[in-house]
Structure 1
Amino acid sequence: MPSFAIEAPGEAAPLTEQALLRTLAAASSSDQNQIQSGTKQLQQWEKSEGFYKHLQSIFIERSLPLEVRYLAIIQLKNGIDKYWRKTATNAVNKQDKSIIRDRLIASGVYEDNNKLALQNALVIAKIVRFEYPQDWPDAISSTLNAIRGVAQDTTSQNLERALLILLYIIKELSTARIQRSRTNLQAATPEILAVLGSLYVSRVDQWRNTPDVNPQNERLMTQSLLCIKTLRRLIISGYEFPNRVSEVCEFWQMTLRQVDSFISLMRQTSSQSSPAQLLVQKHLLQLSKFHLEMAEKHAAGFVLLPSSLDLVRAYWGFARTYAESYGSKSAAAIERGGDDDGDAEAMASEKLTLRGLLLIRACIRMAFLPVHTFRYRQEDEKEEKRQAEGMIKENLLSQGLVEEIMSTVMTKFLVLRQSDLRDWIDEPEEWVFREENESEDMHLSVRACSERLVLDLSTHFKSTLTGPVLGLFHNVADVNNNDVLFKDAVYAAIGMAAATFRDDVDFDALLTSTLVQEIQKQQEGCNLFRRRIAIFCGQWILVKASQDSKAVIYQIFDHLLNPADSYNDQVVRITAGRHFKYIADDFEFDSAKFAPYAESIIMRLMALIEEVELTATKMALLDTISVLIERFEHHIEPFAERIVAMLPPLWDQSGEEHLMKQSILTILARLTNALKELSTRFHAMLIPIIQSTVQPDSELSTFLLEEALDLWQSIILQSKSPTDDLLSLMQHLFPLLTFASETLRETLTILKSYLYLSPSTLLSDDLRLPILKALSPLIGPKSKPDANGLACCITELMIRTASSLGGPTFIKQFTSDLVSTSILPRILSSLRSAWSAHCTTGPLAKLPAVDGIVETDYFAILSRLILADTETFIQAITYTPLASLDDEEGVIPSDPLPAENNLSWLLEEWFSHLDNVGDPSRKKLFLLALTALLDTAHPAALGNLQLLMGLWTDVITELCEVDIDPITGEGSGVVKGEDSLVYNDISELTCIGEGTIEAPEDKRQREVSFADEVHRAGVVGWIRRKLGAAIQRVGEGVFKEEWLGRVDADVVAAFGRLGVM
């Protein structure tokens, strides 16, 4: 036996098959040093020519140790994903690929070891995905030939190996995302079906006709099982309309007969526990998967296949029989024994029942909720769909069957099982977790599927089922009925169908007359129904509950969360804690009605969080508290200290559980927002958490950045004044503006809030330029509209703030900063592109770089510059170089238009854009700015007097009260008073409800809005002043002759009727 020791690598060793063999031996040894050095050498060789060819050579050498061969095939499999594509860097060359392909199938068919055969089959499937049929056209035919070649050999496992290879090929092609792969599979399907179908039939007949249970029979069963596994995938994915293929119809009918015979066979051998029995069950489950997938993926085809509706009835018959042994008979079973959940036959029966229920649900949905598609459908396909829907409604879902299904589901499948009752006691947290999560996926359990089936049946057969269902419900909704398991099941159904029966059940009366008494019972099994009451109330409060009933519900949950009551075991309290989330999240949640129970419920929830152990349970209860904080608002203040004190230990205990940390950060953000400025006492504790989370190199940043930004934003919103700690966080914003594209909106929102909180700090020399440089890449035609809009909003706010803090002198400096950071050049270039595009028509028409709301945002920035200082604006427009729209850093070297014409084309584009502005406040802002340009007496401004007068008339008519009767049109037409956007008192901007506390930022925003010219200056007075000043500046005679004389008489008359001048 050769030695497989390997020396620690120094320089990279040359790749040979023997060297690779020694390296694989080292990497698969038990010596850590050998493993390390071998693994490193393999990583160095994986890009080398011949590496994968040699790996396969080692794998197919059966005399080598299994661990070496296993590592070789694993390395080969992993390399296919990385280097098999032709476009991959260091891709495997054609010659090596050819050698590998030629040996793949034979090496798999004659492999003795199961694990190695499986890995080889996976390798073949992966290569087929890349190369069939272009580079490996005979992949499937070669596999079929291998199957034909060994089909008569019933003594070896060669056929099983060949079938395994075909199974994984079909798996790979049928699940491929690329349509081409599925199309190629469809082309090969008829040949595969012919070979596998006949083989499956012969093998089933062979083992069915051999009464003795022996190893030979088990081999035959294994082979037929591999056949049906492949066939079910093949028929589902290989035919677009399987019902139109005669071979499929024949095979389908055969599977229907086999379902009955396999069920009988399974029941006959149920007393035995043998591999043969398990194989029969696996055959049956594969057939049920086949039938269910056909119903879900080929809905119309399923119905139109022969005897399909009889098949559904057969599955239901099995489920109905199984239902008799499904649930517990008595709550007393908690203390005694368990059911046979672990028994193989019972597990198979349950899975078969589940598939039967899913099949019924699929039929209901295809009849009442057919899947819509954008794919074009031929008329015959549409007719098949209509025919299938009619057959289900008329021939399957009869009134008798629907009532039988509903009754069985409600009274049998929704009943808790003995295993549930046992786990309730033994592992309560785990059981609640399973129940809550399984209910989200109906494919996981019979009860979860039954709940969905109840919802479907009650929705689509309400008129049929209302009488029987409510009759059953009224029979069990009796305080004296002590059959808690049966009662629990019926209430579960009514809770699921709450929206359907909301007008048929008097929930308020039920609550006070029945449920209140039920939770006070002190007898065996009452804890089962207490849990159901918690769930039931959470379901019904969303659809129908009066305000008076909600106070009763708060009392009920307060009682259910009380650990002093022995019947409020951990399952009851955890369920109540989880479902109180829905109570608190009710749209009409009333803080005043909840207040009397707040302390008790919140304290009990917090105590329960400390009591439970599972992270998932703690998170669910934290989510309830989080929702409660949000809905209870500032009333949560008395409990804030205790809530915050509870969180640090949970943070420490969570370790690598970042979902828990996310929940904690969410609670802190909601608590901060709820407390408003009262949250200030916690800010010093929270800021270090934010600081450690938002740093780009922080591990926490990967998982918690979004939640940390929400908390950061909340702290700024609720801070009455800036603190050094809060301002020190500013330095972490700039990397986020550059790199964090997914959280860019949140980052910009935080920056905007800082601008409200401490405008002088952000406009200081230390921060002003860095902020503008960070905003610059976000402004321009290549930026996303959302980011562009927020960046423009911040820039606009900075201009207003600069004007109020430093006047014209500061505005000159700020405008210079806008130019040096390329913000203004980019805006002008974008608008220039829009103007140029709008000047073109016909075949030569160009697309503008910006339009719509983006253009409005740019004109808003220019408007703020005009209102701050018109002279600075004119200079900036005239002398700012236009930025190149192709090169982020470049400028247009030579502008064909002289600089003095910049204002002309800009105003032309501005006035043409006004028709696209729908926001009255924006339109008024543009009016104020364009009118203010009259102060400059610039020819371009005066030359647009006609357009300006039209704008004046439109805005005044829209925003001001005019003396005209809206019906008769009579009146003087004179404007009365100022426009509706002018606020005389800051309280007019208050938008919070009575009894609600205002956030500090809301107050800051209101003050900034109140100081805005849009809300301070009336359009009538503004026009009167600016127009009068312009007339005086140029002289009345010159004004009338040179400028007013060019305006259309109708435009002048329309403006004159307003009586502004």
Structure 2
Amino acid sequence: LASGIYSFACSLWNHHTDTFLQQICAGDEAAATNSLERTLLSLKVLRKLTVHGFVEPHWNVEVMGFLNAVFERLKQFLECSRSVRAENVCRDRLEKTIILFTKVLLDFLDQHPFSFTPLIQRSLEFAVTYVFTEAGEGIVFERFIVQCMNLIKMIVKNYAYKPSKNIGDSSPETLEAHKIKTAFFTYSTLMEICRRLVTCYFLLTKEELIMWEEDPEGFTVEETGGDSWKYSLRPCTEVLFIDIFHEYNQTLTPVLLEMVHSLQGSTNVEDTNAILIKDAVYNAVGLAAYELFDSVDFDQWFRNQLLAELQVSDDRYKPIRRRVIWLIGQWISVKFKSDLRPMLYEAIRNLLQDQDLVVSINNNVLDDFEFRTDQFLPYLECMFTLLFQLLQEVTQCDTKMHVLHVLSCVIERVNVQVRPHVECLIQYLPLLWKQSEEHNMLRCAILTTLIHLVQGLGADSKNLYPFLLPVIQLSTDVSQPPHVYLLEDGLELWLVTLENSPCLTPELLRIFQNMSALLELSSENLQNCFKIINAYIFLSSSGFLQMYATDLCQSFCELLKDITTEGQVQVLKVESN
């Protein structure tokens, strides 16, 4: 079906495209807008036909002809955009059309990587030229840059283009694609891409610096995780850098190290550009931490330079203070000697008192695999107090979640040693829970904190029951909408509460009313449900079974009909208790 209408769709698209370009050059905005709308619609049809209409599209001359024409049309539209001002009615539609051209290429690469092989060279030349050379100056816009970077990333990282370790096991198509890729990414090309990514795209922008001053919390929680690299410039540039550095680390490691060596010593606080360059280079070293493991003596760098930079208190140096503590957070689980940690904790304590909220918030280094409690204990009281003050000071949910995460890490690591310091947090959490009624992700963070608190307090956690048990009740009640977000953490909190309870109270018995509905779900949480039931039996089998034996038997009978053999064994284990 697609092949039957493809030729007509192509001619229609070409006609409307040519008409638009003629009309916009003639200054006929009204007619050009109409033609551009038709160009956009016909291009949408062609996108679907090209990507989904053919099993082996590279054998179709018209399909490959259209895809090659996309590059020419993109150049024409980008040049056209020079003369179409922001206030022009065509501008928005023009940018949408340019983005749609790039989507055609990205979708085709995603769905037909081997059919895309003849386009690899041209795609890389096009994207690199517009994003990493002067050719793009004055005509490229943010969304287009993101699309071009994603095109480069998808080619670099595409598994279809990576030969097996044993070359003989690779298909001829893979070897051909790899050959084209290797020929394009020469030393000079890679060096230029790396330098431009770091010294142009990694630089904090004027808008970001204004946001830092006017909305520090908003600045710290700008989206960088998940799929944000597909749509946002900063995460996109960072992900592209990581992928290219990983793929070509032997070539790029000396390039990055040269940048680092050029920045020895503290930077003049008067030189804003030098500070921003250093921030960008440190960002690159943090992103490439695992690749640089054998090339950077991070311990020596920390002692000789980074620690001193954390102690520069000038307000203009705050981008470096923020970046250095982030950088240490990236390296601490990669390469950081244990005996340096007390010096680091001293620095963190000072940063938590920093006048700048962004610097205070960016302390991630306590979530450390090699954390040693004995090294941290001298700083525990002060750190806990400062983190709690920061938790109260910040107002946005995302920021509170971040600070709670750090507090949770501290509580988890020091365990029972936290007991003398948690009273203020215990008093505050009920208020925060109430305030977060509309913010389920913040409530998840509160649940995680409570889990670690209960484990740290042990039997003393019974003093938390007036707050704790209603929280468990709500989180595990499948009739309440929030359970979709809270159930998993709520069940874990329920279990650790029972494991740390000295006895079975009437209130603990009462919340078991939620269990029948949970067992009916037969979900991935069934294992935790069985553990909770066992915990009740161990605490007080007679009192518990007197109330719930009948309900449990009914639930188990229903369960045995539907679950796997492994699940049936778990039910029988509970019954045997």
- 1:526 is matched with 317
CA displacement, residues 166-191 of structure 1 (integer Å, 9 cap, x when unaligned): xxxxxxxxxxxxxxxxxxxxxx2123
1:218 Cα deviation after fit = 2.3
The yes-or-no answer on 1:350 pairing with 2:142 is yes
Match 1:783 to one of 563, 566, 570: 563
Secondary structure of the 2:292 match is coil
Match 2:262 to one of 472, 475, 478: 475
1:398 Cα deviation after fit = 1.4
Q: Is the 8 A contact 1:266 1:277 kept in 2?
A: yes
1:390 Cα deviation after fit = 1.7
Q: Is the 8 A contact 1:442 1:448 kept in 2?
A: yes
Q: Is the 8 A contact 2:161 2:178 kept in 1?
A: no
Change beyond 3 A, Cα 1:266–1:575? same
Give the aligned residue type for 2:172. E
Give the aligned residue type for 1:412. C
In 1, Cα distance between the equivalents of 2:519 and 2:284? 51
Change beyond 3 A, Cα 1:257–1:573? same
Q: Is the 8 A contact 2:99 2:144 kept in 1?
A: yes
The yes-or-no answer on 1:418 pairing with 2:206 is yes
- 1:192 is matched with 5
Q: Is the 8 A contact 1:694 1:708 kept in 2?
A: yes
In 1, Cα distance between the equivalents of 2:136 and 2:209? 18
Secondary structure of the 2:313 match is coil
In 1, Cα distance between the equivalents of 2:376 and 2:65? 65
Q: Is the 8 A contact 1:584 1:631 kept in 2?
A: no
CA displacement, residues 784-817 of structure 1 (integer Å, 9 cap, x when unaligned): 23432222222222xxxxxxxxxxxxxxxxxxxx
In 1, Cα distance between the equivalents of 2:49 and 2:481? 45
Give the aligned residue type for 1:790. Q
Matching of residues 124-523 of structure 1 within 5 Å? 188-210=1-23, 211-214=25-28, 215-267=30-82, 269=83, 273-305=87-119, 308-321=120-133, 349-366=141-158, 370=162, 382-393=171-182, 395-437=183-225, 441-480=228-267, 482=269, 483-523=274-314
Q: Is the 8 A contact 1:669 1:710 kept in 2?
A: yes
Q: Is the 8 A contact 1:687 1:725 kept in 2?
A: yes
Q: Is the 8 A contact 2:408 2:449 kept in 1?
A: yes
For this pair of structures, how many residues does the alignment match? 567
1:622 Cα deviation after fit = 1.4
Q: Is the 8 A contact 1:414 1:450 kept in 2?
A: yes
Give the aligned residue type for 2:6. L
Secondary structure of the 1:758 match is helix
Change beyond 3 A, Cα 1:324–1:613? farther
Change beyond 3 A, Cα 1:216–1:723? closer
1:286 Cα deviation after fit = 2.1
1:493 Cα deviation after fit = 0.7
In 2, Cα distance between the equivalents of 1:507 and 1:303? 41
In 2, Cα distance between the equivalents of 1:323 and 1:540? 37
In 1, Cα distance between the equivalents of 2:466 and 2:332? 39
Match 1:546 to one of 325, 331, 337: 337
1:495 Cα deviation after fit = 0.3
- 2:528 is matched with 746
Change beyond 3 A, Cα 1:737–1:538? same
1:779 Cα deviation after fit = 4.5
Match 1:664 to one of 441, 446, 452: 446
Change beyond 3 A, Cα 1:238–1:642? same
Q: Is the 8 A contact 1:519 1:556 kept in 2?
A: yes
1:233 Cα deviation after fit = 2.6
- Structure with the bigger percentage of helix: 2
Change beyond 3 A, Cα 1:360–1:508? same
In 2, Cα distance between the equivalents of 1:710 and 1:367? 38
1:198 Cα deviation after fit = 0.7
Q: Is the 8 A contact 1:477 1:487 kept in 2?
A: no
- More divergent stretch after superposition (212-221 vs 482-491): 212-221
Q: Is the 8 A contact 1:665 1:707 kept in 2?
A: yes
The yes-or-no answer on 1:612 pairing with 2:394 is yes
Higher radius of gyration, 1 or 2: 1
Q: Is the 8 A contact 2:520 2:559 kept in 1?
A: no
In 1, Cα distance between the equivalents of 2:64 and 2:475? 61
Q: Is the 8 A contact 1:495 1:540 kept in 2?
A: yes
1:196 Cα deviation after fit = 1.7
CA displacement, residues 814-866 of structure 1 (integer Å, 9 cap, x when unaligned): xxxxxxxxxxxxxxxxxxxxxxxxxxxxxxxxxxxxxxxxxxxxxxxxxxxxx
Change beyond 3 A, Cα 1:796–1:489? same
Q: Is the 8 A contact 1:368 1:460 kept in 2?
A: no
The yes-or-no answer on 1:794 pairing with 2:569 is no
In 2, Cα distance between the equivalents of 1:731 and 1:202? 69
Q: Is the 8 A contact 1:292 1:359 kept in 2?
A: yes
In 2, Cα distance between the equivalents of 1:508 and 1:249? 54
Secondary structure of the 1:498 match is coil
1:204 Cα deviation after fit = 2.2
Secondary structure of the 1:584 match is coil
Q: Is the 8 A contact 2:476 2:483 kept in 1?
A: yes
TM-score, normalised with respect to structure 2:
0.90
1:487 Cα deviation after fit = 0.4
Q: Is the 8 A contact 2:16 2:38 kept in 1?
A: yes
- 1:537 is matched with 328
Give the aligned residue type for 1:208. L
Secondary structure of the 2:116 match is helix
The yes-or-no answer on 1:571 pairing with 2:358 is yes
Identity of matched residues, %: 27
Q: Is the 8 A contact 1:367 1:392 kept in 2?
A: no
Change beyond 3 A, Cα 1:689–1:203? closer
Name stretches of at least 5 consecutive residues in structure 1 with no aligned partner.
1-187, 326-344, 373-378, 798-1061
Change beyond 3 A, Cα 1:622–1:371? farther
Q: Is the 8 A contact 1:263 1:284 kept in 2?
A: yes
Match 1:586 to one of 343, 354, 368: 368
TM-score, normalised with respect to structure 1:
0.51
Change beyond 3 A, Cα 1:453–1:595? same
Give the aligned residue type for 2:173. E
